[in-house]
Amino acid sequence: MSYCCECDKERIKENLNKLLTACKDHEKLLRAYMLDFFVDNHWETLPKKWRDVLGTLTPEELGSWILYPELYEYKKVWPLSLLALRCAVRFHSIERQPAQEHWRDQALGFSKDCRHRNFLNCDLGRGELNRKLFSKHIKPKKFHEIEVMAKVTANCAKRLGCKFVVDIGSGLGHLGRILAFHYGLQVCCLEEQICLTEKAKKIDEQLRKLFEKSGRNIVPPVHINKSINTALDQNELIKILLDAFGLQFKEELEFGLVGLHPCGDLGPTLMRLLVDCPNAVFINVVGCCYMKLTEESSGCIQGYPMSCFVTGEIDTKNLSYEAREVSCHALEMYCDRLKKGCVDDLKIHCYRSTLECILIRHWPHLKHSGLKSIKHTQDLSFEKYAVEAVEKLAISLPAHDLLSDDVERRLLQWKNVVVFYSLRLLLAPLVESAILLDRLLFMEENGLPSMLIPAFDPQFSPRNHILLALKENK
């Protein structure tokens, strides 16, 4: 499903109820730690009929069933409860696949008359973006996100006649650079880390000189070191921006807010800033790190829930840390690995949960300890993986444990571990959809028309929804 507040308010409320109820019904699965698979015997917690079917699937079949159940060839009788769960996830979750034709041909109703709106494809009169020029120092995944985010932001700015943009958590300034150099916007980049700000300025200067040679006079972004948190004072921010843009009066300043994967509560903080600050006129924000959202607070600031509807009218509103954490995982990428049969890559959770049993047996206080991240595990035996993984714990694993019959028995169950993990990923879109729809309702409750756009390819960018809101009637 795709959503826009003004057209879908009641549908959003109804669906939020169903999403959160489904999360509550499968809370045990969502709360499960994968590293406790053997410690807590997770496999036995699944219904026997589920185990009987899922345990016989190949990784390729499992990946196909999760992503494309309508194309999967059912060769045996499946339990209706499992089929119903898959249908519910598919029906109630927000659409994740970018569908530009859908946006072009159907009303997403961004204003009261439900006129067609297209923030990805309208002609900005800027010509084609020089990808080779702007993609230096950027990985393809990140550039894919930045390019799309820049176009959506430029469309919002053009629509409102707004020429100022604030990029929060700007990093090396890649997004702000495209907005300034290609789209001609005046951009202020706020970044906490000084080292990133200094590097960003150097890249700006290199690019500015290239544009000067071609006869174009470009105003680079302004980079400022600033930490943005839930205690953000809008008056302080206004002063910073007036100075950055060389303005005297705040009446001259109307700006858009951009946040590309702000962590945890930062996304909700920016949304509240749009609501509270008269000078802020639009926002484009892509969420990230939902497990870091503050759920309960003694004050009025919390990351989830945001809307009055979820806060006051839904009893099953709580989402556990584990549920919010799994909602940040890469469903499409993982299922792609399943479908390709890359089984050696999939055994890492089995290795980790097997190692957890050894750790708890000898060092109970090390339960759920953070271990060294091991790359290329497909090339490692369990023994080599375990020794490398515990390096920073300063312990020596007993050799007889690493080669014991118990370890061998657990390692043979790697397919069950894959199935259990895959079921948790199957539920992940329910959790993310609930969080995003809660944010959408928050905007609507504050009189701001908004929409969720699945803008990025989820194969590259698992968190791929832009929440867009404008103060059109300002």
- Per-residue confidence (pLDDT) for residue 76, from 0 to 100: 85
Span 104-120, pLDDT tens digits: 333 333 443 333 345 66
**Please, which residues have CB within 8 angstroms of residue 94's CB and are 6 or more apart in sequence?**
1, 2, 3, 429, 432, 433, 436, 437, 452, 454, 465
Mean pLDDT check: name the lowest of 12-26, 334-348, 393-407.
334-348
Q: What are phi and psi of 469, to 5 degrees?
A: -145, 140
Structure-block tokens of residue 70? 């309508």
Residue 322 binned pLDDT confidence (cut-offs 50, 70, 90): very high
Pairwise CA distance, residues 364 & 39, whole Å: 12
Give the distance from CA 418 to its chain's centroid: 22
Q: What is the pLDDT of residue 115?
A: 35
- Give whole-number Cα distances, 328 to 143, 150, 435, 461, 469, in Å: 20, 23, 11, 11, 23
For residues 185-204, give the mean pLDDT: 94
End-to-end, the C-alpha distance of the chain in Å comes to 30
Q: Which of 21-30, 113-122, 196-205, 268-277 has the lowest mean pLDDT?
A: 113-122
Residue 297's pLDDT is what?
58
Read off the pLDDT of each residue in 221-230 and give the average, rounded to a whole number. Answer: 87
Per-residue pLDDT, 6: 52
Among residues 214, 207, 218, the alpha carbon closest in space to that of 185 is found at 218
Paired sense of beta strands 164-168 and 255-263, if any: parallel
Measuring CA to CA, which residue among 373, 374, 371 is closest to residue 392? 371
Cα distance between residue 459 and residue 106, in whole Å: 25
DSSP 185: -
Put residue 161 in one of left, alpha, beta given phi > 0 → left and psi -120 to 50 → alpha.
left
Indicate the residue type of 369: S
Q: Which residue has the tokens 């999403």?
A: 19
Q: What are phi and psi of 283, to 5 degrees?
A: -145, 140
* Banded pLDDT at 3 (limits 50, 70, 90): low
Q: Which of 268, 237, 138 is nearest to 150 (CA)?
A: 138
Instruction: Specify the pairing of strand 465-470 against strand 450-454.
Output: antiparallel
Task: Tell me the per-residue pLDDT of 258-307, one tens digit each, with 9 for 90 and over.
Answer: 999 998 899 999 999 999 999 999 999 999 999 999 886 545 568 999 99
- pLDDT above 60: residue 191: yes
> What confidence tier does 75 reach under pLDDT thresholds 50, 70, 90?
confident
User: Which residue would you say has higher pLDDT here, 299 or 156?
Assistant: 156
Instruction: Give counts: helices (H), strands (E), the chain.
Output: 20, 8
CA gap 338, 350 in Å, rounded: 15
269 neighbors 228 (Cβ within 8 angstroms) = yes
Spatial distance between the Cα atoms of 394 and 387, rounded to a whole number of angstroms: 10
Distance CA 358, CA 169 (A): 41
Two tokens, residue 467: 């929440």
pLDDT of res. 106 = 36
Whether the CB-CB separation of 54 and 418 falls below 8 Å is answered with no
Residues present in the chain in total: 474
